[in-house]
Amino acid sequence: MAKSTSLRCRVLEGKDLPAKDVSGSSDPYCVVKVDNEVVARTATVWKSLNPFWGEEYTLRLPRGFRSLAIYVLDEDTIGHDDVIGKVSLSHQQISAQPRGIDSWLSLAPVDPDEEVQGEIHLEVQVPEQGHPRVLRCHLIGARDLAPRDPSGTSDPFARVSCCGHTQETAVIKKTRFPRWDEVLEFELAEGELGDAVLSVEVWDWDIVGKNDFLGRVELPVGAPGATKGWFQLLPFASSAEEPGGRLGSLRLAVRLVEDQVLPPHCYQPLIQLLAEPIRCPGQPPAGTALAVLEEATSGESRQDVATKLVKIFLAQGLAVPFLDYLIARELARTKDPNTLFRSNSLASKSVEMFMKVVGLPYLHEVLKPVVNRIFEEKKYVELDPCKMELSRGRRISFKGSLSEAQVRESSLGLLQGYLGDMVDAIVGSVEKCPPLMRAAFKQLRRRVEEQFPSAQHEEVRYFSISGFLFLRFFAPAVLTPKLFGLREQHADPRTGRTLLLLAKALQSIGNLGLQLGKEPWMAPLHAVLLPSVTRVKAFLDSLVEVDSTQAGEEPVPAAPFGPSATIKEGYLHVREAEEPSLLPRFAFKKRYFWLSTEALSYSKSPEWQARCRIPVPQMRAVERVDEGTFPQPHVMQVVAQDGAGQLRTTYIQCKGAQELWQWLWALRRASSTNQAMLPTCHPGAFRATRWSCCLQPARAAPGCSRTHGAVALGEWSDPLDPAAAAQSLYGHLRAAGARLREAAEGGPEGGAATEPPQEGQGGGAVWGRLQEVLRDLDVAHEDFARRHGVPRPPTDTDTDTDTDTAPPPAT
C-alpha cells in the first residue's frame, strides 16, 4: 500500500501588478515551490500588468509536505529577474478546504530573512540526573542551505542558545552542506529545565557587513532523554505589514488530494463492476455501475472522473467500447441533433480526455511546424478595423503608415497562408492519426447514423466528429499552444492575436461552415473556409475507414506519455563524471539530445545514427547542480544505474535557467514511475580529492542533499496508474454517498435531481453490488488505518444520521 499525495494547482491570472520595467509594464511569470523546492514554472506573459497564464499542474508531492508558495517575478533580459511578490499557503490551510481554494489572493512582499531553506542535523541529550545537569547539543551538520554569497555558496556557522547562554560553532567556508560535528554543552541550574527551549540559528558569515540569516529551529528540552534527527529550518516570525494589495493579486485554484492507495487487487471488484457493461453489452443502460457513477457525478468533478475512467479503460484495453457506451447513453437522451455533445457531459469530457491522452503526439506532428513558423515570423495580422494599428503594419519606412485596406489585405494573405498550411496538414494526416482514435470516431459515426438516419441530418455524421476533433482538439491547441506542449512559452500579444484569428477560422471549419462567425470583418476569410469544409468532410470520411483488426486495442502500459513518443529534443552540452579532466573549454561537448519514454539519447547532430543512450528505467536521480561547480552555469545531472549495478553520472549544461527547468521536469516526469530512486545525491562534482558541495574526501561518500520527489504533471500526461485512478473514483463515490442513496431510494424530496435506478431495470441490484464493493474497500482502508495508526477515509455510513448532507471527500 502507498500513500498518494497530489496537489492540483491552477495558476490562472494576475491583476494590478506593479511595473518593474522602464516601459511602465512588466514581463511576469510564476514559480511554484513546495517546501522551497521549485516544481513548476509558468511561461512569461510579455508586457502585461494583468497577465493570464491559465496553467494547470498536478503536483506529485513527497509525504508530509509543509507549504506551497507561488512567486511572481518579472523576467529581465539583462541581470537578475525582479521579484514582485508571493502567495504562501500552508498544508493546514489547504487541507482545511476539502473542496479546494479558488480565489484572488494578495501578493505579499518577499523578505530575504524569511526566505530560508534546508535542514539541520541535531542530537540533543538531557540527563536525568547529575549536579549540575549538562545539556549536550551535538551539531552534526546541515544540508540544502540557501546560497547567500555571489559564488552560489555560503559560509555557515551555528549559534546555539539555551537558558540565557549562547555558544557558536566554527565557520565552514564555501558550502551549503556544512558538517560541524561539534558538541556544545550548557549547564542547567535547578529550576531552569521546566520551560527551557534550545534555540539553534544558522548564519552565513561575512567578512564585510552583517551576517546573513539562514534559518532557525527551536526545541523544548523540558523532559530528560535524547532527541535526534533532521529538522527543517524556519524563518523568524514575520513583522512585515499587510501589503493591502499594493503588489497586486494572484488568482489560484488549489486542491489537495491525499489517498491511501491499496494494492491493485483490492480495486479489481470495482474496476470489474465498472467494466461490466463494456464486457457484457446486453445490460439495460440504466442498470450499470457506470450509469450510477455518471448520474451521481457533479459538474465540478466531471472532468476528473472522466480522466480517471479513460485511464482505467486504456489500461484494460477497453477505451473504445467504453467511449461507445457513454456515447450511446448520450445519444439516447438527445432529441435535437443541433445540441449533440454541446454540453460538458461525462461522454463529451471522456472523448476530449481520450484525444489528449492518445492523440497528443499526433497533434504535435500535425500542427507544430505551422505553429513554430507563426512564432518565429511574428507577423502583424489584424482584420478588425477597431483594433488595427496602422503605424505597426510595417516597419519604419519613408512611405509612412499603411492604410486600413493595405493592412487588411496583408493580414488576409498571411492568414490564408497559415490556415491553408494547417488544413493541408490536417487533411493529409489520416495515416498519422492513432488507430485508437480512428476506431473511436468510426463507432461514434455509426451510433450517430443509427440515432439520426434521415437525409436532413446528413451533416450530423460529420459534425459529431469535427466537433470533437476541431472544436475540442485542434482549435484549443492553436489558441493556447503552451498548454498542449506545442511551445514552451506563451505567445506575445502580436502572435497571440494571429493564433486567435486562426483558432476562430478552425472553429468555423469544425462547424462545417454553418457558423462562419458573427464578426463581419471575418467575412473575407469565408472564401477560404468554405472550400476547406469540403476537404475536411472528405478527410473525415477517410478517417473512419479503418479496419477493425488494424485498430485492435491492447492495454496501454503505465507510462506518462505515449509509447516511444519523443518528449523533448534539442542541442545541449554534456560531459561524463568519469572523465579525468575538468578543463573549462573541453569538458562539455555540444550534442543533440532526444528524450523519449524509453531513453535519453544524444549524438553529434540530429543526422548521426550512432547515439549514446541512457535508458529511462535505469535513471535513479535527476537533479540540479549547484551554480559555481563548473565554469558553465545552468547544469543538471542524470544519475543512472548500469547493468552491473554501478551508478554513473552524466552532467548536462543548458543555455538558460528556463531551459534547465524544462529538461529537469521532462526527465522527472519520464522517470516518475521508476523504482529504487536515490534518496540523496551530491549537487556538486568530485574534484581531485573531495566533493565540491559537502567537502567530503571519499568519492563513494553518500549524497549530502535530498533528491527532489515532487513531480509536476499535466492532467493527461499523468502516468496510467489504474490503482490510483480507482482509488480516486472510490473517493468520488464516497463523496457522493448521499446522492447515491437518494438515487437508489427514488430521488430527493421535491423531485429527483438524478435518474433513480429502478429495480426492474437492474438499477437496485447494481446499487446493492456497488455498496458491497465500497464496503469491502472501507474495510481494507480501516485495516490499514489500524495497522499504521492513520485516520481512515470517511464513508457514507458516517452520515447516516443526516442523509441530506453528503460526506466530505475521502482523504
Alpha carbon 50 to its chain's center: 23
CA 461 to chain centre: 36
pLDDT of residue 558: 42
**pLDDT at position 3, please?**
61
Report pLDDT digits (tens) over 361-417: 899 999 999 999 999 999 998 888 888 876 654 444 444 567 888 888 888 999 999
The model's confidence at residue 795, banded by pLDDT at 50, 70 and 90, is very low
d(CA 508, CA 466): 10
What pLDDT is attached to residue 100?
87
Q: What are phi and psi of 669, to 5 degrees?
A: -65, -45
What is the predicted pLDDT for the residue at 764? Answer: 59
Question: What phi and psi values does residue 453 have, to the nearest 5 degrees?
Answer: -80, -15
The pLDDT, as a whole number, for residue 130 is 67
* H helix runs in 297-431, sequence order: 302-316, 319-332, 346-377, 404-427
Which residues partner with 706 through β-bridges?
680
| Strand ranges for 549-653 from DSSP E | 566-576, 589-596, 599-603, 612-615, 619-624, 635-641, 647-653
pLDDT score for 806: 33
Alpha carbon distances (Å) from 390 to 325, 384, 404, 785: 54, 12, 7, 69
Distance CA 465, CA 471 (A): 10
Indicate the residue type of 483: L
Please give the average per-residue pLDDT across 209-220, as a whole number: 89
| pLDDT reported for residue 71 | 94
Of 130-139, 355-364, 749-758, the range with the highest mean pLDDT is 355-364
Quote the crossing angle between the two packed helices 319-332 and 346-377, to the nearest 10°: 110
Phi, psi dihedral angles at 566 (to 5 degrees): -80, 115
- Please report the pLDDT score of residue 115 as a whole number: 78
pLDDT confidence band for 738 (50 / 70 / 90): low
Higher pLDDT, 515 or 1: 515
Residue 736 or residue 288, greater confidence: 288
Tell me what pLDDT residue 401 has: 60
Task: Please say if the pLDDT value at position 576 is more than 70.
Answer: yes
Residue 791 has pLDDT above 60, yes or no: no
Amino acid identity for residue 759 in this structure:
E
Is residue 508 packed enough to be buried (19+ CB in 10 Å), middle (13-18) or exposed (0-12)? buried
pLDDT above 90: residue 139: yes
pLDDT at residue 712, rounded to an integer: 61
Q: So what's the pLDDT on residue 760?
A: 41
Share above pLDDT 90 across residues of the chain, in percent, rounded to a whole number: 32
- Hey, which residues does 249 pair with through a beta bridge? 15, 106
Distance, CA of 577 to CA of 729 (rounded, Å): 45
Q: What single letter denotes the amino acid at residue 575?
A: R
**E-strand stretches of 607-756:** 612-615, 619-624, 635-641, 647-653, 680-681, 686-687, 690-691, 705-706, 711-713
532-541, 633-642, 689-698, 783-792, range with the lowest pLDDT: 783-792
- Beta-bridge partner residues of 216: 201, 234
Summarize pLDDT for 677-716 with one digit per residue, the tens: 999 999 999 887 889 888 888 888 889 988 876 666 655 5
Q: Take residue 742 and report the three cell numbers written for it.
A: 437518494
Could you give the CA distance from residue 369 to residue 429 in angstroms, rounded to a whole number?
Answer: 13
Return the pLDDT at 394: 47
Confidence at residue 514, expressed as pLDDT on a 0 to 100 scale: 67
Count helices and strands (H / E) in the chain. Answer: 16, 28
The confidence score (pLDDT) of residue 158 equals 95
Reference 733, options 639, 673, 668, 796; nearest CA is 796
Mean pLDDT of the chain: 81
Distance CA 720, CA 7 (A): 17
C-alpha torsion sign, points 247, 249, 253, 256: positive
Between 540 and 708, the more confident residue is: 540
Torsions phi, psi of 436, nearest 5?
A: -60, -40
Q: Is the dihedral of CA 270, 273, 279, 285 positive or negative?
A: negative
Q: Reduce the DSSP state of residue 425 to 3 states and report it.
A: helix
Quick check: 208 pLDDT over 90?
no
Q: Which residue has the higher pLDDT, 417 or 740?
A: 417
Q: What is the pLDDT of residue 549?
A: 55
Helices (H), ranges, 428-546: 435-451, 460-469, 475-479, 493-510, 526-543
In this prediction, residue 296 carries a pLDDT of 76
Mean pLDDT score, 293-298: 79
Strand 680-681 versus strand 28-34 pairing type: unpaired
Between the alpha carbon of residue 773 and those of residues 274, 294, 732, 734, 751, the distances in Å are: 11, 17, 14, 12, 28
Count the alpha carbons within 13 Å of 731 in the hemisphere toward its beta carbon.
Answer: 26
Q: Terminus-to-terminus CA distance in the chain, angstroms?
A: 15
The grid coordinates of residue 343 equal 454540453
Question: What amino acid occupies position 282?
Answer: G
Q: How far apart are CA 647 and CA 620, in angstroms?
A: 8
- What integer pLDDT is reported at residue 70 of this predicted model? 94
| Helix residue ranges per DSSP H, 639-679 | 657-670
pLDDT of residue 202: 95
Determine phi and psi for 593, rounding to 5 degrees.
-110, 145
Give the lowest-confidence range in 172-176, 743-747, 795-799. Answer: 795-799
The one-letter amino acid code at 211 reads N
**pLDDT above 90 (res 66):** no
Looking at residue 751, its pLDDT comes to 38
Query: What pLDDT, on a 0 to 100 scale, did the predictor assign at position 559?
Result: 40
pLDDT of residue 393: 46
Lowest-pLDDT choice from 53-67, 255-269, 297-311, 784-798: 784-798
pLDDT-derived band at 72 (thresholds 50, 70, 90) equals very high
pLDDT of residue 238: 61
How far is residue 648 CA from its own chain's centroid?
29
> Coil, strand or helix: which one is 258?
strand
Do 445 and 465 touch, CB atoms closer than 8 A? yes
Report which residue type is found at 520. P
Model pLDDT for residues 427-480, shown as the tens digit of each residue:
999 999 999 999 999 999 999 998 888 877 888 889 899 999 999 999 999 998
How far apart CA 27 and CA 22 sit, in angstroms, is: 12
Those residues whose C-beta lies under 8 Å from the C-beta of residue 87, and which sit 6 or more positions away, are 69, 70, 105, 106, 107, 108, 250, 252
- Measured distance CA(723)–CA(750) in Å, rounded: 38
Predicted local distance difference test score (pLDDT) of residue 565? 59
* Residue 671 pLDDT greater than 50, yes or no: yes
Eight-state DSSP code of residue 396: S
- What sign does the dihedral 504-510-511-516 (CA atoms) show? positive
Of 727, 723, 722, 598, the C-alpha closest to 319 is 722
Whole-number Å distance between alpha carbons of 729 and 309: 8
Q: What is the dihedral of CA 473, 476, 478, 484, to 10 degrees?
A: -80
- State yes or no: cis peptide before 132, omega within 30 of 0: yes
What is the rounded distance in angstroms from the CA atom of residue 742 to the CA atom of residue 751?
11
Q: Given pLDDT bands bounded at 50, 70 and 90, which one contains residue 803?
A: very low
Question: Could you report the per-residue pLDDT of 619-663, keeping only the tens digit for each?
Answer: 999 999 988 888 888 899 999 998 888 899 999 999 877 788 778
Distance (Å, rounded) from C-alpha 769 to C-alpha 736?
16
The three cell numbers locating residue 794: 470517511
Length of the chain: 811
Grid cell of 787 as nine digits: 495497522
List, as one string, the DSSP characters of 59-124.
Answer: EE--TT--EEEEEEEE--SSSPPEEEEEEEEEHHHHHT-TT-EEEEEEPBP--GGG----EEEEEE
